[in-house]
Structure 1
């Protein structure tokens, strides 16, 4: 890792307080949401609380939790992914919040439903059918019946209830997972949404479900509670997928989501340095900020020399690498916050080491890091 930026320059760019209106953070570093599945029967324990606290103690300004499940029987295929409903799970999350706040950090839960990526017969409720806008998996193959209007309304209410619980428990906001080919994204994507009612057709119509989720969440939490929405063009195992092929199409998607109540967009890419559209160096987050004027979070292989899926395809780890390009883009105002995933997963002190120029102490990411909560 190079040292072309001094510790003082890095501190000035990444480790100064930032005021995003409804959300004030001590640093611009965000812990990206990463599924860990260390919550037996959906209940996060003291080890989960300690895991998040360690990041807050080491200079992470905002923690976005791993995906947590809204109250629907087909929300996951894994009994160890944490719930965001039920007394036991919510009590566990309350302790997580207390630990992070005691360390001086801010934390928001990511609320989630996997939709048709769940294999039928799996998870805590194997009897429940998987659900999606048209019953299609990510390959476009039909595996279930399309969601009924009643089912859509029930799921929207479940998102709203999770957000209300987040506020009640003392979280600092809520992130809605609308990316990576999961339920909300399945409505957004033309391959998985073939509906002919008001939830399907044009890009705006395919966004209707997401709009209603955001509107319901905003109603549940009131005007001052921060709402983050995570979006991506790519899907799990569909890396060339596009919701929007041009800036104009992206604006069609984003504008009604802003109107519905999104405060911050979390813009997921595999490699943050790649431009989103031809003719501009702006990445996905940069375009989203330009089109909406809203604060944005960038993410994608920050601090590592290769992207996430390449690691697992090749069965290798990743070396740490410089963040000079990231700092230059931050300097230009392309994005506001920087989400770090695997580098922080492997090394809870990653942010502090970057801040203090202890680059030779950084711990490289290896797939084995996924097996424990360090």
Structure 2
């Protein structure tokens, strides 16, 4: 968040945050996040009236089942990206978690809850390894997580090879697809852990000193250090959370499809990052909000669901989402440029600036 200088009535200067100089309604409504929410509403209601079978009873149910892993992983990913870092290994952790659940249940005879707990712990360890290399060794997160993306995927494939574990108890595979309010409703039970995680993430990022430190790190990590933020520990714990949540998403992924494979969730990291960026998180860090991230995930899910119901191919769906993502990034840059020009013109017309020009050019007085 940048600062700007404004003039008091007595002509003295006052430094303040530029975004807080605008009225509250403008700070709430004229934002990237609210624009994504508005676009989500437009696309959803358009699809209801124009896409065949979109208003059917199963559409929302399968929509939430499909986007649940992305919703879960997008929350810690958003916080990592606000610190100007990134985690490309999340999909590989999903795959590794899936394989661990399958192997531990089939070969070691573990119950599903115990195997799932072990998988989540290993996911947290994977995240801790990423966080250690980024925070304490000082390596760039892009390079680190590209490497661990291949490492974790390689371990997953190595444990199972080309085989798949499909012998899971029926009660657990059905639990992953159950509905909160029983048959006939559109809300699967996976939304319950998501809502709990969302509430914790909102409190952590937007209402705690930890969250303020996350934004400060993204704006300027050196300045954050001098203001008392433990930059290394903050980044480390964010990667640990990302690993644990990705592993939990892998457990859900395994039970929902009833199959543990080493290549499960391949490419999921790109969907997560696209949704986070679309939701308003800056790739340069220091900016973003979780309500925009959730709206971005759901928007991509609605577009994909509507286009599939219309019989469109996966390639065309990816092209549309890619174009939307590029336009959203461009719109942010263009809006920032326009806002800067407008502030410059406003400062140029202020009384203090006119007095400065007059003093510099006595002949014009």
Structure richer in strand, relative to its length: 1
> Higher relative contact order by CA 8 Å / sep ≥ 6: 1 or 2?
2
TM (norm. structure 2) is: 0.25
